[in-house]
Amino acid sequence: MSCPSKILFLFILNAQFLFGFVGKVTFDKGDLRFSKKLGYDFISLGDLPYTTKKGKPALPYKIVNVAIPDGFTVRGVVVRDVKAEEIKGEYLLMPVQPPVTTENRMEIPLIPPDRAVYNSSELYPDESIRLLGVGDIAGQRIARLQFFPVRYLPRRRKIVFQSEIDFEVLTERGERARRIKLTERTRPFYESLIKSLVVNPGEVRLRPGDEKSLVLPPGDYEYVVIAPINLQIAFYPLINWKIKKGIRSNVVTTSWIFNNYEGADGAEKIRNFIQDANETWGAVWFLLGGDAEYIPVKSRYYVGEWVPGDYYYSDYDDDWLSEVFVGRVPAENLSQVQIFVDKVLHYEREPSPEYLSRVLFIGMDLDQWTPSEELKETIESDYVLSFFDVMEVYDSQGGNHREIALNALNSGQHIVNHSDHSDWDELGVGYVNHEWRLYEADIDDLTNYGRPSIFYSLGCWSCAFDGDEDCIGEHFVVYNPNKAGVAYLGNTRYGWYNYGNIFVYSGKMDLEWWRSLMVLGRRRLGEILADSKNRNYPVDDYYRYIYQELTLLGDPEMPVWTGYLGEIEAEFDDTISPGYRDFTVTVMSGGSPLDSALVCLYKGGEVYVTGLTGADGNVTFQIDPETDGILYVTATKYNYRPFEGHSLVLQCVPGDANG
């Protein structure tokens, strides 16, 4: 079960003007599952993550996000009541094992239970709920809570299941959250995102900011490419497409940013620009247009090493919530940018329909106790939509996994999900048992022309775009015209898991990515990645490490198709004369009106309007073209192939009084 809880909320106000949220989280005892791992009892509750303190009992927990009213801060959280019962039987719960990397090829000794905890007569953990932190997105403040539905009495070896936890979030008057510019398009986008994130969506209130930038000129840009001057020109075909389909877009050069923004280094200057563009222009999607030598990467120090990644840019106020959606093109030259742009345009505008339903799961044994296929089978059964046909390559199956995986990739796989030991230039496909791997040369030799993949790997270093040599993720994305991959999600350094438990750390983030896409309906690459992180919380430095490193090499605004693409037809006047007028577009699909299609009219420097069709398929604009030329008409809708057409603007229209 993917959502084993229910939450009820009530907003209260007392005479001292202290606000509070009274809530109840309920858990279903029927979702409890018991199994044996490493010789211990192991308990799971749906797809909830597990505690991570080494040597202590592994127990499921739930992250709950609560919307807080504007102008209030959180004082704390208290438990009001708990409905609990002891589960029959005695259980020696598995102790949390040390995190292990998905590059590690040497087995580490198992650690025994922590004696101080396992000999205790006190409940573990010692509380039912914790306040982890407070952050904000688009001016909406959000409290982050951690609930423990299962607790343990170690000395008696008893499990206490808490089916109901009544609690209150205490707040008081304080400073308002940071506000941003909200456009006609980005307001409903942010509202939908935040309402699906919090447990009290009725309290979500977005208020636009009114502060003016001291640096940026006025503008309404939702999509921004940041690129060096020498690569800038290659992004214009992508920018023009975004504009035509209704997303106001712009390119800003790194030299302009470095000359106009303060910061300790280039990365901080870019981060300050991103925040300013989000607040001033309402920009949501940011494409970093260059390799690390052009667009600097920021490293953070976790678990004894410096970890590079682009999360620094998406969570620009360090509250573990992504305010914007960031992707990177790890290009070194114009040719690589062009390869990337051509793949994105092909995927968005004219994808090959026969491969969009194909998904490839590669799940290998990470050690003798941890088969990745357990994670893949859970994703397939709980999250993958019926539209998709899943091909499995697992260690439990026979055959040569390397050959099978290569044949599948060559035939064209829409989404590939990979879990095995890896390195910067290789991906394991049965490394532990057979030492089988895919190398960069294998990726360059793929023949999936016109059917590029979206590839997500849990392996170590496969997305290390900051290295002196190009990583295998770069070979997917900016090498190989019209084949290999259109996007790559992976780790710049180590992937992590626990012996016997693939559902933590990198495995948990993988599962959440699929949930954001398939269950929660997040549609764009950057949005999916950000949402999978936002609805969780990095409870220790290993999770912080993963948040920092898990990077998208791809266009953050690119949709991920999840169904058969419908065809769009549109009717409108094919020629018009200059001057103020109504212009009606009728959008159809299969002969029936198409509701809620986004229509954009665009004539450079003169006309730029967008609108959604009604139930009758119609949308009417008031436009005022001034000169002869082409008025582009573009209609888009999720899981539909875009319609692209145009109307000619002519001084003398055939058939009119001057024709």
Global model pTM greater than 0.85: yes
In this predicted model, what pLDDT tens digit does every residue of 149-204 receive, in sequence order? Answer: 999 999 999 999 999 999 999 998 988 888 999 988 899 999 999 999 999 999 99
pLDDT at 647: 98
CATH number at residue 593: 2.60.40.10
- Give mean pLDDT, residues 522-536: 97
Burial of 368 (0-12, 13-18, 19+ CB in 10 A): exposed
Give the span between the Cα atoms of 551 and 490, in whole angstroms: 6
Domain-located, residue 515: yes
Residue 287 pLDDT exceeds 50: yes
Closest CA to 49 of 504, 520, 535, 509: 504
Residue 16 pLDDT exceeds 90: no
What is the separation, in whole angstroms, between the first and last Cα of the chain?
A: 67
Domain-located, residue 269: no
Looking at residue 107, the DSSP 8-state letter turns out to be P
Q: Are residues 483 and 520 in the same domain?
A: yes
Q: Are residues 482 and 573 in the same domain?
A: no
In this predicted model, what pLDDT tens digit does every residue of 553-591 receive, in sequence order? Answer: 999 999 999 999 999 999 999 999 999 999 999 999 999
Query: Are 51 and 58 contacting, i.e. CB atoms less than 8 angstroms apart?
Result: yes
Domain-located, residue 253: no
Q: Which of 35-44, 96-105, 210-219, 484-493 has the lowest mean pLDDT?
A: 96-105
Q: Are residues 140 and 172 in the same domain?
A: yes
Query: Are 416 and 455 contacting, i.e. CB atoms less than 8 angstroms apart?
Result: yes
Residue 427 pLDDT exceeds 60: yes
Q: Which residues of 203-241 are buried (b: 16+ CB within 10 A; e: fewer)?
A: bbebeebeeeeeebeeebbbbbbbbbeebbebbeebbeb
Give the span between the Cα atoms of 339 and 321, in whole angstroms: 32
Residue 601 pLDDT exceeds 80: yes
Give the span between the Cα atoms of 67 and 198, in whole angstroms: 6
Residue 6 pLDDT exceeds 70: no
- 129, 147, 177 - which closes a domain: 177
Domain-located, residue 41: yes
- Cis peptide leading into residue 125 (ω within 30°): yes
Query: Are 222 and 247 contacting, i.e. CB atoms less than 8 angstroms apart?
Result: yes
Q: Are residues 404 and 530 in the same domain?
A: yes
Domain-located, residue 347: no
Q: Which residue has the higher pLDDT, 300 or 210?
A: 300
Residue 105 pLDDT exceeds 80: no
Give the span between the Cα atoms of 302 and 283, in whole angstroms: 30
Helix (H, G, I), strand (E, B) or coil at 426: strand
> Mean pLDDT over all residues of the chain?
94
Domain-located, residue 361: yes
User: Beta-carbon neighbour count of residue 67 at 10 Å?
Assistant: 24
Give the span between the Cα atoms of 482 and 564, in whole angstroms: 21
Closest CA to 183 of 205, 214, 213, 206: 206
Model confidence at 298, pLDDT cuts 50, 70, 90, reads very high
Helix (H, G, I), strand (E, B) or coil at 378: helix
Phi, psi (rounded to 5 degrees) for 16: -90, 10
- 500, 527, 552 - which closes a domain: 552
CATH number at residue 495: 3.40.50.1460
The residue length of the chain stands at 659
Half-sphere exposure of 573 (CA within 13 A, CB side): 18
Looking at residue 452, the DSSP 8-state letter turns out to be -
Residue 13 pLDDT exceeds 60: no
Token pair in block for residue 178? 């940071």
Give the count of domains, the chain: 3
pLDDT at 107: 67
For the chain, give the percent of residues with pLDDT over 70.
95
Q: HEC profile for 56-106?
A: CECCECEEEEEEECCCEEEEEEEEEEEEEEEECCCCCECECCCEEECCCCC
- Give mean pLDDT, residues 141-146: 97
Domain-located, residue 635: yes
Q: Are residues 536 and 641 in the same domain?
A: no
Q: Are residues 114 and 149 in the same domain?
A: yes
Burial of 441 (0-12, 13-18, 19+ CB in 10 A): exposed
Q: Are residues 582 and 439 in the same domain?
A: no
Looking at residue 530, the DSSP 8-state letter turns out to be H
Closest CA to 638 of 553, 534, 509, 517: 517
Model confidence at 19, pLDDT cuts 50, 70, 90, reads low
| Amino acid letter, residue 84 | A
- The C-alpha R_g of the chain, in whole angstroms, comes to 26
Phi, psi (rounded to 5 degrees) for 387: -60, -30
Model confidence at 300, pLDDT cuts 50, 70, 90, reads very high
Residue 627 pLDDT exceeds 60: yes
Give the span between the Cα atoms of 351 and 417, in whole angstroms: 20
Q: Are residues 385 and 511 in the same domain?
A: yes
Query: Are 592 and 361 contacting, i.e. CB atoms less than 8 angstroms apart?
Result: no
Distances (CA, A) of 620 to 368, 587, 637: 63, 11, 17
Give the span between the Cα atoms of 122 and 160, in whole angstroms: 12
- Give mean pLDDT, residues 319-323: 98
CATH number at residue 48: 2.60.40.3800
In this predicted model, what pLDDT tens digit does every residue of 429-470 receive, in sequence order? Answer: 999 999 999 999 999 999 999 999 999 999 999 999 999 999
- Give mean pLDDT, residues 43-58: 94
pLDDT at 15: 36
Q: Are residues 593 and 451 in the same domain?
A: no
Q: Which residues contact 431 (CB under 8 A, 6 or more apart)?
A: 105, 364, 420, 421, 437
Q: Are residues 403 and 527 in the same domain?
A: yes
- 520, 552, 584 - which closes a domain: 552
Residue 417's domain comprises 352-552
Q: Are residues 417 and 477 in the same domain?
A: yes
Domain-located, residue 202: no
| Amino acid letter, residue 427 | L
Residue 512 pLDDT exceeds 60: yes
Q: Are residues 365 and 506 in the same domain?
A: yes
Model confidence at 655, pLDDT cuts 50, 70, 90, reads low
Helix (H, G, I), strand (E, B) or coil at 131: strand
Residue 12 pLDDT exceeds 70: no
Phi, psi (rounded to 5 degrees) for 130: -135, 145
For the chain, give the percent of residues with pLDDT over 90.
89
User: Beta-carbon neighbour count of residue 346 at 10 Å?
Assistant: 16
Q: Which residues contact 318 (CB under 8 A, 6 or more apart)?
A: none
In this predicted model, what pLDDT tens digit does every residue of 231-284 receive, in sequence order? Answer: 999 999 999 999 999 999 999 999 999 999 999 999 999 999 999 999 999 999
pLDDT at 657: 46
User: Beta-carbon neighbour count of residue 98 at 10 Å?
Assistant: 14
DSSP-assigned states of every residue in 454-500: EEEE-SSSTT-TTSSS--HHHHHHTSSTTSSEEEEEE-SS--EEETT
Helix (H, G, I), strand (E, B) or coil at 596: coil
Residue 14 pLDDT exceeds 70: no
Residue 102 pLDDT exceeds 80: no
Burial of 659 (0-12, 13-18, 19+ CB in 10 A): exposed
